[in-house]
Structure 1
Amino acid sequence: MTDMNEVIALQQSGNFEELIRRGIQISDGALGLKEGWGKAPFHGMRAHYFVEVASDAIGKHGRHRFWRAECGAEAVTHDKAAMFAMGSWERCKVCLKKWNVKRSSVATLSMHNETVSRHDGGQT
């Protein structure tokens, strides 16, 4: 049987690899950002790369937030059931692939702009 104090200590230290190795899935608290790797409550078994698309509805559980993932998954959270930070949840493969492509293109564009500015700066 797993000792919950040990699990909480591993979570607080950020040692999610050990939790995954033991087959334990745990969140890293509420996702306090407008986008990022998150796990919607009561929504599957994987973390997705979610982007908050709206947060203007207020209901009996507080502000409702509407999320859309890179893979097309959608989720609704509210103040009493917030979007969880990824923690040790397995990442959605489709979201991961699209996120890596986007990150790579941003890095390539950044390197290109840096190279162009060096060339422009050298000519007078």
Structure 2
Amino acid sequence: MQSGFIAALFQFSLEFGQKSIREVEFEDGKMIFELKKVNDRELLFVFFTTCEPSGKELRPVVQEASNAFIKKYSKIINESADIVNSDDFKTFSDTLFDLKLINRRPMKSIPLMKRKSFLDRLLRR
């Protein structure tokens, strides 16, 4: 459901402008979008942060993270069909931690209640 919302938001921005949306700001956080072309595929990277810095300061971090993802998973990206198994990418949070792009290792699984409350807050605004 979250990915559908993000895809719809991104597509909406393309319908009304020549360029895609770059940021969406909420009361308690910000979503930053990065679109990368890999061969004939377009990959949309979405980062959510509750940090205070401006998007200009976060943009290099987002670019470094998306470049690291492409480098690590280029084989899967190039060989896979349109539908991929998200389990193939589970170790990426460790890569972000190793690159010091995040300062703590993420939880291996997100409790359903936390995931739902984030979505509820996101859709209520």
Q: TM-score, normalised by structure 2?
A: 0.27
Larger radius of gyration: 1
Larger relative strand fraction: 1
- State TM-score, norm by structure 1: 0.27
- By relative contact order (CA 8 Å, sep 6+), the higher-ranking structure is 1
More helix, by proportion = 2
